[in-house]
Amino acid sequence: MQLTGVYEIINWQETTEKQFDDGAKLSKAVVNLSYEGEIEGSSEVYYQLEEGDVEFNGFEAVIGCFSGQQGKVVLMHDGRFKHGKAHSNFTVVQSDVDAIAVGDKGSFESTEGKKANYQITHN
């Protein structure tokens, strides 16, 4: 079974955690998302990222309706931002809904504006 849909970035708050002498920086971003599709709900993501075309990682708590069942799922992200597009592979690390289990995998790929297509595959 695969859950698919679109999410939209509602709010992005980024703070610099460390500034280096060469101008590079390490930042933390707190991002709020709104989900549509087979997941209807919202989430808050905590990303750790660098400046420019980079790799990022973080955790996301999604609260909403998953194929008709209310609950919460936590995702662990491993992604890249390159040439203005973001892509992440993620693993479910916590779930209290039947449609998604710990260990299930998924991904997102950014599209136009502040939106991205997502998919989660339930084993």
Mean pLDDT of 73-100: 95
DSSP helix/strand/coil, 103:
coil
Mean pLDDT of 20-25: 85
pTM equals 0.91
- Identify the CA nearest to 92 among candidates 113, 108, 71, 77: 77
Give the contacts of 40 (CB within 8 A, at least 6 positions apart): 64, 65
**pLDDT tens per residue across span 44-79:** 999 988 777 888 999 999 999 998 999 999 999 999
> Domain locations in the chain?
2-121
The DSSP bridge partners found for residue 73 are: 62, 95
Is domain 2-121 given the CATH code 2.160.10.10 in the classification?
no
Q: Tokens in use for 1?
A: 């079974």
